[in-house]
Structure 1
Amino acid sequence: MAESGVQSVDRAIDLLEALTDLGGDAGLSELSVSSGLPLPTIHRLMRTLVSRGYARQLPSRRYTLGPRVIRLGEAAGRQLGAGARPYLEHIARELGETANLAMLDREMAVYVAQASSTHSMRMFTEVGRRVYCHCTGVGKMVLAQLDDDAVRDLTARTGLPAATDRSITDIDALLAELATIRERGYAVDDGEQEIGVRCFAVPVPGAPTPTAVSVSGPAARVTFAFGERAVPVLRETAVAVGEQLAG
């Protein structure tokens, strides 16, 4: 029986997601195991995805994500950022420091929106910037939304490079930190990405992928007393952002 149009779309999306989960590079047999689809179906669908630019076939006959996926991702990121920006501006007004929205993208955290502080000395994080998860507030917050096995798998691919002498570089120490973050409901980057900078981050409930909202600035202003005031503001706003993303 011929596949229905909806089934074909579902299966093509399954393959793109499987290819992404496999690190963006996979052979037909790996895609079959990951997606549960038979090899002839995968071969047929992958030929279509290649012809449309959503996948590429390497000389080794393995497949990678194609350039059109980048275009879709960039457009989606802009739309997400536009929708979230008013909420981040609210945080920046309430707390006086830079607010960010970041999401887990494969092994890294990517910033998708920002609202800047009005202070002359403030934090600038370029929208679209990708950062390691283990040494940033937003990154640790998105990792805390995964189970420990998934964190081990992710960090095995990226490693745990030190951005500063405060960065966590041991997987057991990282897992212990994530357990603390899950218990208290927020993450802190205390000079782990950049000396003299502190960040508080909370999860965005209901987001389609692990997502975090944060506020950051110079440690002299963004103190732990500041964090006690900031976390409730972040949590309230994160709920609204989650509703917007899910809507």
Structure 2
Amino acid sequence: MAEENGTKGRSGSVQSIERAFGLLEMMADAGGMMGLSQLAAASGLPLPTIHRLVRTLVDLGYVRQEPSRQYVLGPKLIRLGETSSHMLSVWARPHLARLVDELGESANMAMLDGDQIVYLAQVQSRHSMRMFTEVGRRVLPHCTAVGKAILAQLREAEVRDLLQRTGMPKHTETTITDVDEFTAQLHKAQQKGYATDEGEQELGVRCIAVAVPDAPSRLAMSISGPAGRMSEDLVNQAVPLLTQAAQALSDDLR
């Protein structure tokens, strides 16, 4: 049988590998921990098959069994994730560079990692006064355009749960600290197709962002610059270019 011997399925793929990675993705979606019966119910696979696949993942270090007999994602996945994040930045840089060439302002890519936004890539503006965001920097999503663009793709209940966990600390006088006001702004971002940061993380900085569609992670791309240069005309010019860049990156990641 294909699931027992790892033979190729109809599409030419190896079924046991497909199933093993499917289990890892299910565990990630569930917060990183699941039991065998939960995995069997979620996947529709027989419990003996689940047990064999999970034992193999445990032996390889990609899954670990807890004393509770639940299974959790293993530390060996960290190295894969770090390398994957680096490759995301490599793939994003040409698209970010084109945005800088066309718009003149700094371009960024960021990801939702747990409850935080982490910046994965940036190409800086050539202006002497420009916005610099250190790659690897982590911020809360409620005060950034990339965070809003990503949260606008989630269900409102998920957003409210996240905000309850992280809080909405005030960074500047324009930081939104009211949950209802924030979710209303996310609805506007959904309608417009982009999100904004009006000096909510740093005074005098304006940023616009769009989500990367159909990406393997929650990603967004943005441009940012001094509010005086980030005029409405520039925003109107930037939105379609950002949208195109996000779609092009999404195509590269497939």
Query: TM-score, structure 2 length as denominator?
Result: 0.82
Q: Report the residue type matching 1:161 in the other structure.
A: M
> 2:235 aligned to 227, 239, 242, which one?
227
Q: CA deviation at 1:180?
A: 0.2
Cα 1:97–1:33 change in 2 (3 A) is same
- For the residues of structure 2 that align with 1:48 and 1:130, how far apart are their CA atoms? 34
Q: Report the residue type matching 1:66 in the other structure.
A: G
Q: Note the residue ranges of structure 2 that are not aligned, 5 or more in a row.
A: 7-13
Secondary structure in 1 aligned to 2:143?
coil
Is the 1:160–1:168 Cα contact (8 Å) retained in structure 2?
Answer: no
State the partner residue of 1:205: 213
Kindly provide the CA deviation profile for residues 146-174 of structure 1, in whole angstroms up to 9, marking residues without a partner as x.
Answer: 23344345445x43331514333343322
State the partner residue of 1:243: 251
- For the residues of structure 1 that align with 2:134 and 2:46, how far apart are their CA atoms? 42
Secondary structure in 2 aligned to 1:101?
strand
Q: After alignment, is 116-125 or 161-170 more displaced?
A: 161-170
> 1:151 aligned to 159, 168, 172, which one?
159
Q: After alignment, is 191-200 or 104-113 more displaced?
A: 104-113
- For the residues of structure 1 that align with 2:128 and 2:50, how far apart are their CA atoms? 55
Tell me whether 1:65 sits opposite 2:66 in the alignment.
Answer: no
- For the residues of structure 2 that align with 1:21 and 1:154, how far apart are their CA atoms? 15
State the partner residue of 1:82: 90
- For the residues of structure 2 that align with 1:86 and 1:16, how far apart are their CA atoms? 31
* Structure whose CA Rg is larger: 2
Cα 1:81–1:43 change in 2 (3 A) is same
Q: CA deviation at 1:140?
A: 0.9
Q: CA deviation at 1:17?
A: 1.1
Q: Note the residue ranges of structure 1 that are not aligned, 5 or more in a row.
A: none
Tell me whether 1:23 sits opposite 2:35 in the alignment.
Answer: no
User: How is 1:52-201 mapped onto 2 (pairs within 5 angstroms)?
Assistant: 52-156=60-164, 158-165=165-172, 166-201=174-209
Q: CA deviation at 1:188?
A: 0.2
Kindly provide the CA deviation profile for residues 50-84 of structure 1, in whole angstroms up to 9, marking residues without a partner as x.
Answer: 22121223344333222221211222222222122
Q: After alignment, is 165-174 or 138-147 more displaced?
A: 165-174
Query: TM-score, structure 1 length as denominator?
Result: 0.84
| Count of aligned residue pairs for this structure pair | 245
Percent of aligned pairs sharing the same letter = 55
State the partner residue of 1:217: 225
- For the residues of structure 2 that align with 1:135 and 1:76, how far apart are their CA atoms? 26
Is the 2:35–2:70 Cα contact (8 Å) retained in structure 1?
Answer: yes
Is the 2:211–2:220 Cα contact (8 Å) retained in structure 1?
Answer: yes
- For the residues of structure 1 that align with 2:251 and 2:111, how far apart are their CA atoms? 15
State the partner residue of 1:3: 4
Is the 2:170–2:176 Cα contact (8 Å) retained in structure 1?
Answer: no
Secondary structure in 2 aligned to 1:167?
coil
Cα 1:114–1:57 change in 2 (3 A) is same
Q: Report the residue type matching 1:164 in the other structure.
A: H
Secondary structure in 2 aligned to 1:188?
strand
Secondary structure in 2 aligned to 1:134?
helix
- For the residues of structure 2 that align with 1:167 and 1:29, how far apart are their CA atoms? 45
Kindly provide the CA deviation profile for residues 75-109 of structure 1, in whole angstroms up to 9, marking residues without a partner as x.
Answer: 22222221221111111122222101223344433
Q: Report the residue type matching 1:244 in the other structure.
A: D
Q: Report the residue type matching 2:168 in the other structure.
A: P
Q: After alignment, is 48-57 or 125-134 more displaced?
A: 125-134
Cα 1:184–1:68 change in 2 (3 A) is same
Kindly provide the CA deviation profile for residues 104-150 of structure 1, in whole angstroms up to 9, marking residues without a partner as x.
Answer: 34443333321111233332223333433222111111121223344
